[in-house]
Structure 1
Amino acid sequence: MASNKAFWGIVTAAAVGAVIGLLFAPDEGNKTRKKIKKKTNSLAGELLDALEKSKEKAVKVADEAKENGTQYKDEAIDAADEYIDDAKKEINKYN
């Protein structure tokens, strides 16, 4: 969580810094707007890349959790089957 907050803090600071820098640049308005648009598109691309990586990581973690859950379920079923078989053997001893 802390790394996510730090990441978003850096992204936000970079975006604000870039916009402020461009606004105070001595270029004409048209050039400044083009620079802002280019920088915004660049930051948006970086943000989308970061979101995609986060999504991939979340999917990987979810898949691992599902796989572990399935394994634990199968182990529990096997153990329950063994207990049932043992119980049936004990009951048959008295019949």
Structure 2
Amino acid sequence: MVVAAAPTPVRNAELMATLRRSTGRRAGMPTPAPLLRLGAIGLRTDPALALTGRHATSPVLAEAGMCWQHPTLAGAVADPFTPRLE
């Protein structure tokens, strides 16, 4: 199995803080855990994916010589050609 993820994963708190800074939004409301569990039922997925997360990296791609254009979140957000959330 190959995971298509950048080689430097970040926690959700860092991801959301970076996205808020890059979009100019001051704050975001966290989704309550019971609501996430309910949504997971509708999506037929594991609520732990949203509540606890997963460490996802791919040594297979690195060993194959894969080079990431943006190996870090900061680099991806700083790229003027990265799609923006509006």
User: Same fold per TM (> 0.5)?
Assistant: no
Task: For CA contacts below 8 A with separation 6 or more, give which structure has more relative contact order.
Answer: 2
TM-score using structure 2 length: 0.22
TM-score using structure 1 length: 0.21
